[in-house]
Amino acid sequence: MRKYKAAILGATGMVGQKFIQMLSQHEWFKITSLAASERRIGKFYGDEVDWKVSANIPEEVKDIEMLPMDPKAIDADIVFSALPSDTARKVEGEFASHGFVVASNASAYRMEEDVPLVIPEVNPEHLALIEIQKKNRGWDGFIVTNPNCTAIMLVISLKPLMDLGLKNVKVATMQALSGAGYPGVPSLAITDNIIPFIKGEEDKVENEPLKLLGKFNGEKIEFAPISVSASCHRVPVIDGHTEAVWAGFDKDVSVEEVIEAFNSLRPLDLPTSPEKVIIVRKEPDRPQPRFDRDEGNGMSVSVGRIRKDSSSTIKYIVMGHNTVRGAAGASILNAELMIKEKLI
């Protein structure tokens, strides 16, 4: 199989670095272009970037000259966006209008009616929105987005529960520092502390699942008929978002039924897909970020402490790697799905 040329927008940030780390080892993609802010244009990536993801910058990107975020300057089959949302709105639209396929980790277009918000194991059929998007906007290319890093862990665990009559969800999150980027939260603010507020996070966690779990009716997504209530918190963990979930159903549901449902979510035949999408932990004190975030190379989601709260409510803990499954890995898996579906 030929390798697809990949560009990364926002290549110097934490998510951009994670894209580079994952794509540099990828059998389907070859990094050909790195785009960054104006002050870095013309400089070599290895000279300019303080690498945060691991100890060493991959050799193949050290001597890549950073380019402007201009469609005319980029040669790629697919563009991965790790841009902040305020920048992504303008830049991603420009790339799509110039014929590029954009796999975005930004929130700018996630809730747009004609833009797919996709988790491949959850709602691959939502890619049908692409043709509607291109027609609506007059674009030769298109944008596909992945969810918020917290919402994606939650929704993967909720998808198999939909057939059991899921009606309402309450979730309290314990979110890792890497979710705030680098340098993120000041050390004196988070050491010996929990911050019970993350700007804009609760709205994303409450709204994105409704689109992700909704149905495509041929024209648009009909949102799932469930409610989600979230309380989001930053905790002193480096990587791995942990979430306490209360799932309410329209009937009596047993723990055994929920476990069977979790185990029913099947992986895809794609390079970045893990062998198990959901790993059910039987230990009473798991999942834990330190021990479980790298399961499935960071692409598996772990659940545990599955127990009754009432006859129609099950509570459990779900945890996943926020910069892998919740960010760069999510966009890469979306791109793999688009290749499989011959959209790239």
Question: Which residues have a catalytic role annotated?
Answer: 149, 241
CB 171 within 8 A of CB 154: yes
Task: Return the amino acid letter for 59.
Answer: E
> Using an 8 Å Cβ cutoff, are 278 and 265 in contact?
yes
From 137, 31, 147, select the one nearest 94 (Cα to Cα): 137
What CA–CA distance (Å, rounded) separates 163 from 264? Answer: 11
**Which region, left, alpha or beta, applies to residue 298 given φ > 0 means left and ψ of -120 to 50 means alpha?**
left
| Of 45, 43, 42, nearest in space to 19 by CA | 45
| Strand partners of residue 313 | 248, 310
- Supply 115's token pair: 């833009």
Distance CA 193, CA 179 (A): 16
Query: How many angstroms separate the CA atoms of 329 and 149, rounded?
Result: 11
Question: Residue 181, CB half-sphere, CA atoms under 13 Å: how many?
Answer: 10
CB 331 within 8 A of CB 146: yes
- Cα distance between residue 239 and residue 179, in whole Å: 8
Range list of H helices, the chain: 14-23, 45-48, 59-62, 85-97, 129-137, 149-158, 187-190, 201-212, 255-264, 289-292, 329-340
